[in-house]
Amino acid sequence: MSPDSPTAPVAQSMDFAKYLNADEAPGESGDPPVPSDDRGDALAGLRNAYARTAAWLGKEPFDTTATRFLDAHPQDARDVARDVDAFVAWVGQCWPADPEVAEIAWIDGNLYLASLADDCGALAVSGLRAEHWDAVEIEFVPSLRFRPMRTNAVALWRALSEGATAPPVHLVPGDIGARVWRQGSRPQVAAMTADESTCLDLALQGASFGEIRAFLDLTHDEEQTARIAGGCLGAWTAEGMVTALRR
């Protein structure tokens, strides 16, 4: 999508345009389409859950993308907006030359899921105590989601959310990421540096604090490792992402 036009028309994506009149959309299952009496509810649900994606694409391109998704993925209208992975993958197939579209959709969808999640008691910063830090593993709120990013989609999403002029689309350095979670009653999104992305990826896989530090030691000196690892844990806790420390 052109960086100069936050709501570029369908004609600017030849990859998407070929699906508008195609007999088969990408990944089409061949199952019967969503019944017409459910289609309006299902489409409205997608518009609501993916409001920033719709604003970025424009109403007609988004509705076309969403309608073809409903044809290929028939399901209860109440569940369709929760099928985030499938819809994001679909958007990525429809807009392969514009990776920011699927990334904005990923943010939208996971913020929607976070809004439906139960409130979860988070650990206070004062609770960050351990006798043997190297053995500590971090437990996170169930709503937490993480993804490596190829573009500045978080900045684009924020601009759309605030009604501001979106910055130009650009690719970001490798290993940059984004996280979505629920802090109290409010869904949140944040961009992450490469170092934080590495730490969170390891922590979500069950790595101990000591293992995270050891990995950082491969590319950082001891002082940098302590600053990065400690800063990440402190920030995650302050932002309501951590529920407990496992020893």
One-letter identity of residue 117: A
The pLDDT of residue 237 is 95
Best CA proximity match to 229, nearest among 131, 152, 138: 138
Residue 16's pLDDT band, with cuts at 50, 70 and 90, is very low
Please name the residues in contact with 37: beta carbons below 8 A apart, sequence gap of 6 or more: none
Q: Cα dist. 56→41, 47, 80, 98, 108 in Å?
A: 22, 12, 21, 11, 12
Read off the pTM: 0.84
| Residue among 113, 115, 44, 110 at smallest CA distance from 77 | 44
Spell out the domain ranges in the chain. Answer: 10-116, 125-246
Task: pLDDT band for 36, please (50, 70, 90 cuts).
Answer: low
Mean pLDDT of the chain: 86
Q: Is 2 a residue whose pLDDT tops 70?
A: no
Place of tokens 């109440």: 78
Query: Where does the pLDDT of residue 131 fall: very low under 50, low under 70, confident under 90, or very high at 90 and above?
Result: confident
- 21: pLDDT strictly greater than 50: no
Question: What is the number of helices (H) and of strands (E) in the chain?
Answer: 10, 5
Tally Cβ neighbours within 10 Å of residue 244: 13
CATH number of 125-246: 3.90.930
Cα gap 70→66, rounded to integer Å: 6
The CA-atom distances, in angstroms, between 70 and each of 48, 63, 75 are 15, 10, 8
Q: What is the mean pLDDT of residues 199-216?
A: 97
Structure tokens at 131: 């006798």
Average pLDDT over residues 65-80: 85
